[in-house]
Amino acid sequence: MSDPSIPLACQNLLHDWANYLDTKSWDRMPTIFAPRIDVDYSAVGTLKATTVEPSVYIDHYSSPSQLGNPEVQSHHFIGACKWTRESESNVRVIFQIMAVHRRAPKDGAAVLATGHGINTIDFTQVEGEWKIVAIKVGVLFIEGDFEGIFKP
């Protein structure tokens, strides 16, 4: 059951974040972010940036070397969530995640990799609207050939 002190808008933003990654809805993604965000994907060896425009995150993950590659599909399953109301205008969620990745080149066998982890997303109010202000990825373990998904 959801905590009534956690705005439904934050829960919807968590869903939208995963859905936009999986459906490659890069044009819709700016709507879920605050004007400046912190990103920490260092646990998977990629982007770590502080107080950057969301375009830094979106451009990185929509690129052909990442999820923007048409041969790459993903499905980010969100598991149990621990929501915390940090203040009137700040909310945090720590959640289980299983991120399935598949690369299916036309001329070769599919490569599969699944990451299991604990992620953290922070939300803040911007002009009365809830937005994502920080994302941090935590890895417990990875199955399969994760590097093979994103190799050139």
Q: Which helix (H) or strand (E) holds 46?
A: none
Q: Name the pTM for this structure.
A: 0.94
Residue ranges per structural domain of the chain: 8-150
The pLDDT tens digits of the residues spanning 85-129 come to 999 999 999 999 999 999 999 888 999 999 999 999 999 999 999
8-31 pLDDT tens trace: 999 999 999 999 999 999 999 999
Residue 38, burial from CB neighbour count under 10 angstroms (0-12, 13-18, 19+): middle
Three-state DSSP at 91 gives strand
Q: What is the residue-averaged pLDDT of the chain?
A: 95
Report pLDDT for 2.
Answer: 56
Residues 37, 50 contacting (CB under 8 angstroms): no
CATH of 8-150, one of 3.30.70.1050, 3.40.50.1370, 3.10.450.50, 3.40.50.300: 3.10.450.50
